[in-house]
Amino acid sequence: MVKEYRTIEEVAGPLMLVKKVEGVKYDELGEIELPDGSIRRCRVLEVNGSNVLVQLFESSAGINLANSKVRFLGHGVELGVSRDMLGRVFNGMGEVIDGGARLLPEKSLNINGNPMNPAARIYPDEFIQTGVSTIDGLNTLVRGQKLPIFSGSGLPHANLGAQIARQARVKGSDDNFAVVFAAIGITYEEADFFISDFKKTGAIDRTVLFVNLASDPAIERITTPRMALTCAEYLAFECNMHVLVIMTDITNYAEALREVSAARKEVPGRRGYPGYLYTDLATMYERAGRKTGSEGSVTMIPILTMPEDDKTHPIPDLTGYITEGQIILSREMYRKGYMPPVDVLPSLSRLKDKGIGEGKTREDHSGVMNQLFSSYARGKEAKELMVVLGEDALTPLDRLYARFADEFEAKYINQGFYENRTIEQTLDIGWELLKILPRSEMKRIKPKILDKYWSES
């Protein structure tokens, strides 16, 4: 028999204090029944003697200290999972909201998951072709990686996210990824863009959507990504699917976390975010990966908007410390009209080295990649110098580099959101551009590779 308590003592912001409870556990899920019969949910944040401090997932409006009842359910927040989730839409608490039939869950899983044993991970090294040159060629994505997109307000990160979801393939196979999409506090329009794109391409049938819109309760944003990840882990590790998780926007998530932390009067870390923001983000991001005993994989692309385009803001900063690289979007490229506007130099994929090369992409991949990076960096430096001193001040070689940088942006970075390039096309464009420079500058490419590819075409 579940006990009911009418001992709500305090409600303030997203927090509520309930007195004189018994047997309530840390992190347990609770239900609040309002006088009108409606039900709200809450989670235990602290047990202190016979008092418990709970966090409300929905608004506190209408909660009445005298007449509302609280009961605790004896388990944490859970998500009922099944294969039939594909093609369905859920809210941030895991309830069906597409008007369809209720789901018959195969099992219920705690949304916090269990940490993965590092000794049981399989190192991600299988190349994913996204069809985007700046990712495939320079910041290669592999299966089981977590690679965020750092964007700014007004930049087309949604288009890039949708493009990746649409085009992602493992090389040499036609298998599509199952997509788990978590909308965290984004606007209706943005969510609708993704959903209609998934519908248009037919991807919706292999997509699970978890939607918490800007108008939905902010605190629910704390559970939304965990619901999505629990679903993704189930599909990947128990149904052996390859799952691509797209979560947007992590900034809204961190803000919800800050709201709870501020309400608890915790000592803040930088910019008011709680000191445990790193750990909290890590417990989400680290759920990407592959593990022994399962064929499937969880590949994660979190999207976040950097406040003021500032990469050192705690949210992008701590994300960058956990994820395996980052794709950074640049306002400068966007203004030039180059799509997707990827800022190549600070972007990075940490796992690329083991996912490229012979047998995975092509033997020349790593050489071309390094050469493009260092040549583009030098080209940009030359262009900066040119702005200050004029073209005449450059040596003839630096002038070539400046030209290379321009062409690189126009041809390599710029491809539009609907062009799907194979990795070979991407590499060939790279070679073509490098030929603007003299061969003696190709210091990053091994002589053997250079001999083979420099003369061709």
Partner 1 sequence: MTEGKIVKVSGPLVIADGMREANMFDVVRVGNDKLIGEIIEMHGDRASIQVYEETAGIGRADKVVSTDAPLSVELGPGLITSIYDGIQRPLIKMKELWGANILKGADIPALDREKKWGFTSSVKVGDIVTGGDILGVVDENEVIKHKIMLPPKMSGKITKIADGEYTVDEPIGEVALDNGKTHKITLMQKWPVRVARPYATKLPPLEPMITGQRNIDSLFPIAKGGTACVPGPFGSGKTVVQHQLAKWSDVDIVIYIGCGERGNEMTDVLNEFPEITDPRTGESLMKRTVLIANTSDMPVAAREASIYTGITIAEYYRDMGYSVAVIADSTSRWAEALREMSGRLEEMPGEEGYPAYLTSRLAQFYERAGKVVCIGSDGRLGALSAIGAVSPQGGDISEPVSQATLRIVKVFWGLDSSLAYRRHFPAINWLSSYSLYKDRLEDWYINNVSPSWKEYVVEASRVLQAENELDEIVKLVGMDALGAEDRLTLEVARSIREDYLQQDAFDPDDAYTPLKQQNAFLALIFKFREEAKKAIEAGADIEKISSLSVREKIARAKSAPADKYEEIYAEITNEIVEQIGKLINKEGAQW
User: 291 or 360, CB closer to partner 1?
Assistant: 291
Q: Three-state DSSP class for 361?
A: coil
- Contacts with partner 1 in 162-191 (CB under 8 A)? none
User: Amino acid letter at 81?
Assistant: V
Which is nearer to partner 1, 65 or 389 (by Cβ)?
389
DSSP state of 328: E
Binding footprint of partner 1, residue count (CB under 8 A) = 84
Question: How distant, in Å, are the alpha carbons of 356, 433, 449, 451 from that of 455?
Answer: 23, 13, 11, 7
Give the tokens for residue 53: 């401090």
Residues 290-329 that bind partner 1 (CB under 8 A): 291-294, 311-314, 317-318, 320-322, 324-326
Which token pair is 329?
A: 């979007």
Question: Which residues within the stretch 218-277 sit at the binding site for partner 1 (CB under 8 A)?
Answer: 237, 266-270, 275-276
Q: Which is nearer to partner 1, 99 or 118 (CB)?
A: 118
Query: Which of 370, 254, 234 minimizes the C-alpha distance to 303?
Result: 254
385 lies in the binding site for partner 1 (CB under 8 A): yes
Determine how β-strand 297-305 pairs with β-strand 207-213.
Answer: unpaired
CB of 215 to partner 1, least distance (A): 30
389 binds partner 1 (CB under 8 A): yes
Select the residue interacting with partner 1 from 35, 100, 154, 346 (CB under 8 A): 346
Footprint of partner 1 on 351-380 (CB under 8 A): 351, 353-354, 366, 370, 373-374, 377-378
9 neighbors 52 (Cβ within 8 angstroms): no
CB of 56 to partner 1, least distance (A): 18
Cβ atoms 390, 402 nearer than 8 A: no
- Return the amino acid letter for 175: D
Residue 298: both structure tokens together: 């969880």
- The interface with partner 1 within residues 110-169 (CB under 8 A) comprises 110, 112-124, 144
CB contact at 8 A, 66 and 48: no
Q: Is there a contact between 361 and 171 (Cβ–Cβ < 8 Å)?
A: yes
Judged by CB under 8 A, the chain residues 58 through 117 that form the site for partner 1 are 76, 110, 112-117
Stretch touching partner 1 by CB under 8 A, among 12-20, 84-92, 147-155, 348-356: 348-356
Residue choice 388, 455, 456, 457 for contact with partner 1 (CB under 8 A): 388
Stretch that binds partner 1, among 88-96, 186-194, 250-258, 440-448 (CB under 8 A): 440-448
Which residue matches tokens 């539009």? 416
| Span interacting with partner 1, options 7-15, 193-201, 205-213, 388-396, rule CB under 8 A | 388-396
Q: What's the alpha-carbon Rg for the chain, to the nearest Å?
A: 25
